[in-house]
């Protein structure tokens, strides 16, 4: 299948608990059907357990296109379920950050996303895994976990993407430095021992955290992981780094470690939770790998974020 219009049967799965998910199903289905897409079934979920069971049923029903509406965590979970199959993923950005949509150049409004989906092309993208758990954007430990734990549904609902900045300030004030070791099982880099760390992250895609970039060269179709580590430093230095997050050039600052690879193992002292696209899903020690071209996804015809190469 080269375009969404070629789909013989499409299922729509909406996370009604997402920030913009409550009123989305009716508008999404109506827009997609008027655009000529054959929507065969519609499902609303409110929890991860419901999402897993619904995706299993949708896959068993034989749909060749599954349109998933929700935040980055919802879409990443769905991508992990569809990875390695011939089923194509459609994305409706209904969360707070919607960083995957930003990476893939999918419009942020529901009507625009539906129109782009109905007329879009199919590409394939890489899927990251942390201890086997899927992620599309970034996996991280340290400050980002504190941000995720600070983000409440109420804060996201009222502030939208600005909630990330508020949560980051609160999490920074409570952050405790940690030790980390980065091991590279393929031997492409020397083991790195890190002291007094603020954050260590492993990126598969380009954007995370409401529009920040992993690095200036990161991409979701480049078949590599971008690893960065930010050490503890005076507040003024972290402010300088924060100003460079949008374009990813912070990785060029002195003291910030950045490398690309296809496999890395992270050990921390103490063991720490790992944030996968906004969801705390595993813990260190963690091995990060990449599944090349694992997920077929619909993007706008004008998007240059990825291509189809099988």
pLDDT tens for residues 169-198?
A: 888 888 899 999 999 999 999 999 999 999
Of the candidates 89, 86, 92, the residue with the CA atom closest to the CA atom of residue 28: 92
Q: Is residue 308 one of the residues assigned to a domain?
A: no
Residues 77 and 219 in one domain: no
Residues 139 and 276 in one domain: yes
- What pLDDT is attached to residue 150? 80
- What pLDDT is attached to residue 37? 84
Total domains, the chain: 2
Quote the tokens at residue 161. Answer: 């993407």
**Overall average pLDDT of the 190-214 stretch:** 95
Task: Tell me: pLDDT of 272 over 90.
Answer: yes
- What pLDDT is attached to residue 290? 98
Q: Is residue 204 one of the residues assigned to a domain?
A: yes
Residues 218 and 256 in one domain: yes
Residues 58 and 179 in one domain: no
**Overall average pLDDT of the 85-111 stretch:** 93
Q: Is 279 a catalytic residue?
A: yes
- What pLDDT is attached to residue 111? 86
Give the Cα separation of 77 and 195 in Å (integer): 32
116: enclosing H helix or E strand: helix 110-118
Residues 174 and 26 in one domain: no
Residues 204 and 252 in one domain: yes
Q: Is residue 177 one of the residues assigned to a domain?
A: yes
- Of the listed 6, 237, 279, 287, which one is catalytic? 279
Chain segment 121-173, per-residue pLDDT in tens? 999 999 999 999 999 999 999 998 988 888 766 776 666 777 777 778 888 88
Using the Cα atoms of residue 8, residue 299, residue 295 and residue 284 in order, give the sign of their dihedral: negative
Chain segment 13-62, per-residue pLDDT in tens? 998 877 665 666 777 888 888 877 888 999 998 877 789 999 999 999 99
Eight-class DSSP state of 120: -
Q: How confident is the model at residue 73 (pLDDT cuts 50, 70, 90)?
A: very high
Residues 209 and 275 in one domain: yes
Structural domain span for residue 96: 4-125+293-299
Higher pLDDT: 227 or 96? It is 227
Residue by residue, DSSP assigns 166-214 as HHHHHHHHH---EEEEEE-TTSSS--EEEEEEEEEEEESSSEETTTEES
């Amino acid at each position: 299948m080269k375009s969404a219009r070629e789909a013989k049967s499409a299922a729509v799965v909406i996370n009604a608990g997402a920030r913009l998910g409550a009123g989305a199903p009716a508008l999404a289905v109506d827009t997609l059907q008027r655009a000529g897409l054959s929507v065969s079934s519609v499902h609303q979920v409110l929890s991860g357990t419901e999402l897993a069971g619904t995706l299993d049923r949708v896959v068993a029903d034989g749909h060749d296109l599954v349109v998933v509406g929700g935040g980055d965590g919802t879409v990443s979970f769905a991508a992990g379920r569809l990875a390695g199959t011939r089923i194509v993923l459609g994305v409706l950005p209904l969360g707070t950050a919607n960083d995957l949509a930003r990476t893939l150049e999918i419009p942020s409004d529901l009507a625009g996303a539906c129109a782009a989906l109905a007329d879009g092309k199919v590409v394939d993208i890489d899927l990251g895994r942390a201890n086997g758990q899927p992620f599309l954007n970034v996996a991280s430990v340290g400050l980002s976990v504190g941000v995720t734990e600070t983000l409440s549904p109420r804060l996201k609902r009222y502030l939208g993407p600005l909630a990330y900045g508020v949560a980051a300030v609160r999490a920074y004030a409570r952050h405790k430095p940690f030790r980390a070791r980065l091991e590279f099982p393929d031997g492409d880099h020397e083991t790195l021992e890190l002291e007094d760390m603020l954050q260590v992250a492993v990126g598969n895609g380009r954007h995370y955290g409401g529009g920040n970039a992993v690095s200036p060269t990161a991409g979701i179709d480049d078949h590599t992981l971008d690893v960065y580590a930010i050490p503890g430093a005076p507040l003024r230095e972290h402010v300088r780094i924060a100003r460079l997050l949008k374009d990813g050039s912070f990785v060029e600052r002195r003291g910030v470690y950045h490398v690309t690879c296809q496999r890395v193992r992270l050990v921390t002292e103490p063991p720490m939770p790992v944030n996968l696209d906004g969801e705390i899903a595993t813990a260190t020690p963690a091995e990060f790998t990449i599944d090349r071209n694992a997920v077929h996804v619909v993007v706008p015809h004008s998007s240059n974020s990825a291509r189809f190469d099988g």
